[in-house]
Amino acid sequence: MPALHIAPPATDEDFMRIALQLAQEAALIGEVPVGAVVVKDGVVIGRGSNAPIAGHDPSAHAEIRAMRDAAARLGNYRLTGCTLYVTLEPCAMCAGAIQHARIARLVFGAHDYKTGACGSVIDLMAEEKLNHHTTVESGLLAEECSATLTQFFAERRRQQKAEKPGDN
């Protein structure tokens, strides 16, 4: 009887690469390239990419969409024991939703020095008065996550400049 090949467990980097792929998909449709996945027991149970423009929905951030997907699969709005991987530091809205969902661990790539709510501008995850505390790890594949955003916005500026009559 041949031996069974068992794949090694996925790593944090593997899950962040899935989130990066989702970010690239968002960029292709003109959304800010942010991707997120929710993982429980080594299995991706939720996926999301930014879609506020396409969905006419200000809450359609990658994190929210990934948590909605995971909650629907689990049949529970509480995502205890889950890890959320996201390419960009969550904003205040997403940080609040992460806490309400009871996400155990958050791993993000690039810091957001304009709206980041997990340490860059404010740190909602460290607020002692809140009743749930998510463990936060930052900087995983930060250069790749940041480059995805930088390239997207550089291209957007080039397109806007090209569209302005008389500025060429």
Active-site positions read 63
Instruction: Give the residue ranges of DSSP H helices in 4-75.
Output: 12-28, 52-55, 62-74
Q: What is the C-alpha separation between 136 and 55, in angstroms, rounded?
A: 29
Q: What is the C-alpha separation between 65 and 136, in angstroms, rounded?
A: 19
Q: What is the C-alpha separation between 155 and 59, in angstroms, rounded?
A: 25
Output phi, psi for 10, to 5 deg.
Answer: -70, 150
